[in-house]
Chains A and B, each alone.
Chain A
Amino acid sequence: MNSVEIKHLDLQFASIKVLQNLNLTVSKGEFLVLLGSSGCGKSTLLNCIAGLLEPTSGQIHIHGRNVTWDEPSERGIGMVFQSYALYPQMTVEGNLTFGLRNAKVPKDEIARRVERAAEVLQIKPLLKRKPAALSGGQRQRVAIGRALVRDVDVFLFDEPLSNLDAKLRADLRVEIKRLHQQLENTMIYVTHDQIEAMTLADRIAILKDGKIMQLGTPDEIYNRPLNRYVADFIGSPSMNFLDGEVLGDSFLRGDLILPLSDYRFAGGASVDCSATIGIRPEHIVTGELVEGMPIRSEVVVEMVEPMGSDTLVYTRLEDTPFHIRMDGQARVRQHDRLAIGIDPARTSLFDTTTEERL
């Protein structure tokens, strides 16, 4: 059964199209991440689902019911905001119960739900405190609790971890994942952080200019990006791109010839055209393994960034900036000559004009 279904959703502010004919289906219990850079419409979409923004046209269904014109509280959703949005003058308990009191839920039922939420989120000792007396992580936990007590099947998260420091963010990320496994409800999660997206999501929708560029599992998004935008957006450092052309069974760029016999073309077979090849920095092979690679070349190291777990090497290939991610223990210095190998099966080819995957 589908939990959330969005049909032909359009949203326009004055003359600006924020969402364009957007279709999206989220199945029950799925963790969907809406990912994109700022201004792509991801938060807008979430606000539409929540009922906090009115779409210009289109429909939103939650649990098979058309809720397009329903009030946020009638949609069966709970929402967690980036700034926590806790009511400052109420205690934690007051924050958790505000919605239930509005809905005139019986007292003992409220107590039962608060008890359960406090247990799940380990905020029992905080119930009598005001939000000002809580740390950022505790505040966000209370904010999640506020969604939890509503006893709804759809959770909406609007960049919930962006206000936290890196360490806390990683901790809470794991907690949210655990919560999802425990509660098994549908979660729609907006973020601009691709690590959050990759680690949490069952599926990721990458948005740009109010349109979904690709909807797929983290694995599909990472390994088989549908277009150049997605390929560039996902991965850090981002993918290396080389413009060239596909001729028969090879990709040609200057002296470089990549045999494409192992490449899985989207259309099943190779088509001659001008094309861009994308190679992830972490998929470039160095050291002894180079010998076994179908394509070999040599580059000069321009700069080295040791990052502890990895070493990032800046080079040029065919006069184009080319980044290589090597092991943290790699000992390379500036001006070194480096032998590299590329496996065509792990590359992505895009039509240079349409930027679609070949």
Chain B
Amino acid sequence: MDTSDYAIDVRGVTKKFGTRTIVNDIAMQVRPGEIYGFLGPNGSGKTTFLRMLCGLLTPDGGEGKCLGLDFRSESAEIKKRVGYMTQKFSFYEDLSIEENLDFIARLYGMSQRKVAVQKSLERLGMVERRKQLAGTLSGGWKQRLALAACLIHEPKLLLLDEPTAGVDPKARRDFWEEIHKLAADGLTFLITTHYMDEASRCNRLAYIAYGNLLARGTVDEVIKAGGLTTWEISGGNLAALAEKIRGLPGVEQVVAFGTTLHVSGRDAEKLNASVSPLISGAQRWTKIESGLEDVFISLMETAKDNFS
């Protein structure tokens, strides 16, 4: 694939606030029509990276293209082609749904404004609620309105910053259905999230912690690259066992899941040697595939040692 065919193709992106480096030398390539997940702990620089892509923040370093435009010098042009959905609801609560959409359509200078607003209302099933004030909408509806407003100028790329935070499971599932539909039509998505189920619905992922990119690829690739071995222990008296295991050589994570305990570590032999003697008769010990969450937490712990 030629570099200019990527929707996002940036390298060395860096942002500093004072002496703190928030985003450190990050490269990212996203293909058109792809749903790209962007994960990382709070304060890891995800929002800062998105803001730099759409011209809200000036990067301190880096080069590359966004929709074929230089992301540092042509941010005014990029803004016209990108939809950015902020983490916090950022439309006017004292304007109605329709007035908000109309306002955004005007800012983008749409020629067929009324038609675009009407279409947007129809697609999101808000035609009857068009006169309702945005401030009175529930979380799920606010999120749908925000997505509709981001789409109104028919962007080529959508940057969604934790779009489903605080939204119920049903609304979240509907939201992802919508995203997959739009991606099938050729729209590119870069989505930040904390939810592992959402991460696994992305085509590819990138994991960032303390400003550094730690892993990227498909879900399977990321898990494989994590190199983690995980055991599941079931049976009685797990709380006491967890206390004993924690801190032993080779044991990196001990996580309780209701009636089971997950124990993971990167050195499979050490882990085995530490844990297996402690397993008593009634307890069962099976090797399972590591989850994305286990891998991310492991990556984050390592990153903490390396960068902080």
A and B together in one complex = no
Residues of A that sit less than 8 Å from B by CB: none
